[in-house]
Chains A and B, each alone.
Chain A
Amino acid sequence: MHLFRNIVFTAALVGLLAGLAMTAIQQFGTQPLIVKAEVVEQANAEKAAQPHDHAAAGQHDHAALTAQEEAAAAKADHHHDGDEWAPADGAERFVWTVIANVVAGIGFALLLVAASELKGGLTSWREGLMWGLAGFAVFTLAPSIGLPPEAPGVEGAALLDRQIWWVGTAVATATGLALIAFARSPLAALAAVALIAAPHVIGAPKPPAPPAIPHDLEHGFVVAVIVTGFLFWAILGALAGLVRPRFAGA
């Protein structure tokens, strides 16, 4: 079980550091835009002004709701629904975001470190950085092509459909990149290219309504998420390459 232990320790340390680094980057990139988008979302909700029933909104009866009411319903769902716990704005919300970032960082680090062990394990930060770039392509870039990261107030298609497409795209892209990097036959390369393109040919689930927030804000958020993701994966990969050889010797 040494190998399992080494992978988990490496991933825990790398995920912790990368998650903390991502939190710092988010404070300059995505977080101000999330707050701004929520202000717009809130204003839209108030403009809708009709008395709305929290119980009905909770059921997500999209057909019966206008876009603005939907925004109000989404808002009620994740911040103002009295029935469900949500962190209070300020320090509590920030702490939960840090925790969530670290958990996501450890999860992604486990995937990266475990996958790289199949190829003998990372030996340098540069090799780790290459794996990190692959992680960026798989988990940030490819899903963002069909499902641009949504600021609050941007209503997407049904959540489950989007989650399935997101996961399917990540799996197809990862498999394709692995075939390109490690298989030696031209046929495998051809299959890899087809795999990577396939989710986009099939197409992502489409949103029911145009975004309820200004275009600049929506676009700025997409850019901020992708650049943040790039830095996160570069840090995660390089750190994994630095840390792994130290554990492997133990």
Chain B
Amino acid sequence: MMSNLNLAARTETAALQARALPIVSAFLLGVFVVAAAGFVSIPAVHNAAHDQRHAIGFPCH
């Protein structure tokens, strides 16, 4: 019983570890995309995204 529980716990941990890399990668991609939309201060990017930044409440100029 105990070893079954341990096995189950270990399998779950292994499954989570296998899932961690793609999940973290997707999350970092999200950070990158949000930064591009809301935080990059290159003037052309700022001007293109200007109304969106105000309307979402990102800090803007």
- A75-93: which residues lie under 8 A (CB-CB) from chain B? 77-79, 81, 84-87, 93
CA separation between A34 and B50, bound complex, in Å? 10
Q: Cβ of B51 and Cβ of A84 under 8 Å apart?
A: no
B41 within 8 A of A: yes
Closest to A113 in B: B26
- B7-48: which residues lie under 8 A (CB-CB) from chain A? 19, 22-27, 29-39, 41, 43-44, 46-48
Q: Cβ of B34 and Cβ of A107 under 8 Å apart?
A: yes
A144 within 8 A of B: yes
Q: Cβ of A8 and Cβ of B46 under 8 Å apart?
A: no
Give every chain A residue within 8 A of B51 (Cβ-Cβ): 26, 30-31, 34, 93, 96-97, 100
Q: Is the interface of A mostly helix, strand, loop or mixed?
A: helix
Size category, B interface: 35 or more
**Which of A49-57, A155-163, A208-216 lies at the interface with chain B?**
A155-163
Output the least CB separation between A204 and chain B (Å).
10
Q: Cβ of B27 and Cβ of A115 under 8 Å apart?
A: yes
Q: Cβ of B48 and Cβ of A87 under 8 Å apart?
A: yes
A1 within 8 A of B: yes
A197 within 8 A of B: no
A103 within 8 A of B: yes
Q: Cβ of A114 and Cβ of B26 under 8 Å apart?
A: yes
Q: Cβ of A229 and Cβ of B57 under 8 Å apart?
A: yes
CA separation between A87 and B51, bound complex, in Å? 11
CA separation between A234 and B55, bound complex, in Å? 16
Given A7-B22, A97-B52, A101-B52 in contact, is the A78-B61 Cβ separation under 8 Å?
A: yes
CA separation between A183 and B56, bound complex, in Å? 30
Closest to B36 in A: A103
Name the contact of B47 in the complex, choosing from A11, A86, A101, A104 (C-beta under 8 A). A86
Q: Cβ of B55 and Cβ of A84 under 8 Å apart?
A: no
**Which of A124-132, A146-154, A186-194 lies at the interface with chain B?**
A146-154
Output the least CB separation between B26 and chain A (Å).
4
Given A107-B34, A114-B23, A163-B39 in contact, is the A34-B29 Cβ separation under 8 Å?
A: no
What are the 3 tightest A-B residue pairs by CB atom distance, in nearest-first order?
A: A110-B30, A107-B33, A100-B52
A-B contacts, 19 of them at CB < 8 A, read A7-B23, A8-B29, A86-B48, A87-B47, A87-B48, A97-B51, A101-B52, A103-B36, A107-B30, A110-B27, A113-B26, A140-B56, A147-B57, A149-B54, A149-B55, A159-B60, A162-B59, A166-B59, A225-B56
